[in-house]
Structure 1
Amino acid sequence: MKRRTFIKNTAATSLVCSIPPFFNLNSDPDDYSVTELMGKADIELFGEGINLREEAHDAFVKMKKAAYTDGFDIKMVSSYRDFYRQESIWERKFLRYTEDQGMQPLDAIDKIIEYSTIPGTSRHHWGTDIDIVDGYAKTSGDILVPEKFEEGGPFGGFKLWLNENSEKFGFYLVYTKEPRRRGFKYEPWHYSYAPISIPMLTAFRKKNILKLILNEDFMGSEHFTTGFLKAYIQDNILDINQELL
């Protein structure tokens, strides 16, 4: 449910009154440095096991309490990741696909960017984005699987709750199920705290992202071309939930 629809159709309550005003963005895009945007700066994070910027942390705690009241235990799978953690994820996957599975480097890169970002371009660098599941649900194996968030899946009920409630707390789904959307595949677990992440994305767009990536040196980066990176920026960084632009 879109937030504007929720506000139109739902009577005002104390919970609604606590909603962060979506368009009253508290951050100035000019406040963010290149190193901060790329996950290379030390930023202040809040909450044991939460690790978000203060305002995002406070909103998350409120959402977690509301979910608990409705029978869900929001479990944080991932929040802040610095550049070097993202680099290790990227290189581990690159080695697995090229050495273990024998894929060509360009094919391996295409496979990686189905779900994982190029180091320095992850929204998780910002301290605003979260990957979450319901800790009460019984499941095994990989948990961040889209099918597990569908009706009948272990997180199906939790996803319905998020559809109805996450935007009240400023958290918006990033990579939607919109069929015409390009870039990263649908991630029903990935939410972003919009009042901060929107200004941060605006700041990032003002930088020469292509040049920033080309200046980095990690496994596979030698195969990046200008054409590939332009498409990556347009499709993977910018083709997201339109509410977050």
Structure 2
Amino acid sequence: MERRLFIKRSGFCGLALTIVPSTLLIQDTKYSIEELMGKEDIELYGDGINLRKEAHDAFVEMKKAALADGIDIKIVSSYRSFDRQAVIFERKYLKYTDDGMEPLDAIDKIIEYSTIPGTSRHHWGTDMDLIDGAPKVDGDVLDASKFSTGGPFEKFKLWMDENSKKFDYYLVYTDDSKRKGFKYEPWHYSYAPLSIPMLKSFRLKNIMKQLEQEDFLGSDHLTTEFVKTYIEDNILDINPELL
């Protein structure tokens, strides 16, 4: 299947500025656009952990504390490159459209849980999907029902609710009925001391302008208005403690 340009160019220039408060419009050079999009190699730490140094060290301490309380924190996913996110996005797009879904419906389905490549917090080396590795679980472990009352990860979730912030890890996509964008993810945690400034840097850079140069299945169905809404709802409507 032929790949197509990712974002329609019409009316695109300046999109980033329309969603950034004027107080944030300052020069930012700490994080490059390539780095924020998962297109630049970054130094990652820990066998099977793959986080930036500060996030890694805090996770190791959190894991030790959880083990002392009988919780075996296991990483399902941490750092993802741009290319890895593209594989996830396109695999889902093909699956849904092959099943008969219209392209726009397929994209809406994808962004219930998966990001457009280049916009994932997993690109930053600060975020992880976590479960309790002790219980035996059948099927998809990243299922919100498994973290609720009576689920195999109930104890894990209760422990994280009480303790994760002590190690500067915060739930990103909370169970708030007023929150838009991605659905509730009781497994996705972010290391705030790094991810907060990275999100601010993300908002200052015209990353969406860069994405129009990329090449993805379904891209011809993504308009400027769609991307603007996606940023506001999926990228920015998160746990306010991470803004």
TM-score, normalising length from structure 2? 0.88
- Please give the secondary structure, in 2, of the residue aligned with 1:30: coil
User: In structure 2, what is the Cα distance between the partners aligned to 1:53 and 1:29?
Assistant: 20
**8 Å contact from structure 1 (residues 114, 183) kept in 2:** yes
Gaps of 5+ in 2: 1-26
**8 Å contact from structure 1 (residues 29, 199) kept in 2:** no
Structure 1 residue runs of 4 or more that deviate by more than 2 Å after TM superposition? 212-215
Alignment of 1:95-134 (within 5 A): 95-99=94-98, 101-134=99-132
> CA offsets, 1:110-140, max 9 Å, x none?
0000000000000000000000000001210
Specify the alignment match of 1:84 in structure 2.
Answer: 83
The partner residue of 2:236 within 230, 235, 238 is 238
Alignment of 1:4-153 (within 5 A): 30-99=29-98, 101-153=99-151
> Are residue 194 (structure 1) and residue 192 (structure 2) matched?
yes
Task: Kindly tell me the number of residue pairs found equivalent between the two proteins.
Answer: 217
> CA offsets, 1:68-125, max 9 Å, x none?
00001001000000000000000000000001x1111100000000000000000000
Specify the alignment match of 1:20 in structure 2.
Answer: none
TM-score, normalising length from structure 1? 0.87
User: In structure 2, what is the Cα distance between the partners aligned to 1:95 and 1:117?
Assistant: 15
Distance 1:84 1:228, change over 3 A: same
**8 Å contact from structure 2 (residues 33, 207) kept in 1:** no
**8 Å contact from structure 2 (residues 80, 123) kept in 1:** yes
Specify the alignment match of 2:4 in structure 1.
Answer: none
Larger RCO: 1 or 2 (CA < 8 Å, sep 6+): 2
User: In structure 1, what is the Cα distance between the partners aligned to 2:63 and 2:86?
Assistant: 30
Aligned-pair RMSD on alpha carbons? 1.0
* Equivalent position amino acid for 1:175 in 2: Y
User: In structure 2, what is the Cα distance between the partners aligned to 1:173 and 1:112?
Assistant: 21
User: In structure 2, what is the Cα distance between the partners aligned to 1:55 and 1:91?
Assistant: 32
**8 Å contact from structure 1 (residues 38, 125) kept in 2:** yes
**8 Å contact from structure 1 (residues 39, 120) kept in 2:** yes
**8 Å contact from structure 1 (residues 171, 193) kept in 2:** yes
* Equivalent position amino acid for 2:75 in 1: M
Q: Alignment identity in percent?
A: 69
Specify the alignment match of 1:168 in structure 2.
Answer: 166
- Please give the secondary structure, in 1, of the residue aligned with 2:159: helix
Gaps of 5+ in 1: 1-27
* Equivalent position amino acid for 2:33 in 1: V
User: In structure 1, what is the Cα distance between the partners aligned to 2:106 and 2:61?
Assistant: 40
User: In structure 2, what is the Cα distance between the partners aligned to 1:212 and 1:129?
Assistant: 23
The Cα shift of 1:29 comes to 5.5
User: In structure 2, what is the Cα distance between the partners aligned to 1:30 and 1:172?
Assistant: 25
- Please give the secondary structure, in 1, of the residue aligned with 2:76: strand
